[in-house]
A and B are shown apart, each in its own frame.
Chain A
Amino acid sequence: AQTVTQSQPEMSVQEAETVTLSCTYDTSENNYYLFWYKQPPSRQMILVIRQEAYKQQNATENRFSVNFQKAAKSFSLKISDSQLGDTAMYFCAFRAGNNRKLIWGLGTSLAVNP
């Protein structure tokens, strides 16, 4: 069975600094997707970034980038130039290529301090 582990329940960062959120996963699949979702206080889930396992290049979306280490089954999220609006819960999620279900981590609560 696939599992997703986020080992940092809470983190904080100063505005404009960089922070990295950790995520590890376990699977025997070769074809899969990894995601980072943001859930701000409004509780609307927002896709931050997606990584296809077959792609070696790390995905980036503006200030958000991932460090995808397939052999180590690690998928960390780096937020550069942190902004107050980045304050949210961040969830790492896994989906096997032939399955529509998402497997969720427990989340990391990130606070960006002014």
Chain B
Amino acid sequence: GAVVSQHPSWVICKSGTSVKIECRSLDFQATTMFWYRQFPKQSLMLMATSNEGSKATYEQGVEKDKFLINHASLTLSTLTVTSAHPEDSSFYICSASGPFPPYEQYFGPGTRLTVT
């Protein structure tokens, strides 16, 4: 099956700094990528959808200036958490889907962000 990687798997940063998370599709062209946030024992919350070469579409309530998403190629999307604060600490998951139906979403292993 299709493989999606995320890097880093775990990151600690100081309050006020920025951190970048990478999401890569390793063996297929991901025309659409999704970024989710998940709190412990809760469901996935979609943050934004990005299409290759286009600006990301953010879900209501998600600050686009805080969570910068770039999808510059068919295999890479990045999420940058700018001026991170402790409340941004969470588990971030990306998924990717290809250009053909049924547009299956393949998930990365997630990134645990801790802001101190």
Residues of A bordering B, CB below 8 Å: 33, 42-47, 50, 52, 89, 91, 95, 100-102, 104-107, 109
* CA distance in complex: A89, B39 (Å): 13
Are A100 and B49 neighbours in the complex by a CB distance under 8 Å? yes
A58 to chain B, nearest CB (A): 17
B43 within 8 A of A: yes
Q: Is the CB of B43 within 8 A of A43?
A: no
Size of interface on B: residues with Cβ below 8 Å to A: 20
A67 to chain B, nearest CB (A): 21
Option from B32, B43, B97, B103 in Cβ contact (under 8 Å) with A107 = B43
Residues in A neighbouring B105, C-beta threshold 8 A: 100, 102
Q: Chain A residues with Cβ under 8 A from B109's Cβ?
A: 42-44
Within the assembled complex, what's the spacing in Å between the Cα atoms of A47 and B105?
9
Q: Which of B43, B93, B102, B107 contacts A52 (CB 8 A)?
A: B102
Residue of B nearest to A89 (CB): B41
Contact A101/B49 with A43-B91, A43-B109 known, Cβ cut-off 8 Å: yes
B-side contacts of A100, CB under 8 Å: 32, 34, 49, 97, 103, 105
Q: Which 8 A-B pairs rank lowest in CB-CB distance, beginning with the nearest? A: A45-B107, A104-B43, A44-B109, A106-B43, A43-B110, A100-B103, A107-B43, A104-B44
Q: What's the minimum C-beta distance from B35 to chain A, rounded to whole angstroms? A: 12
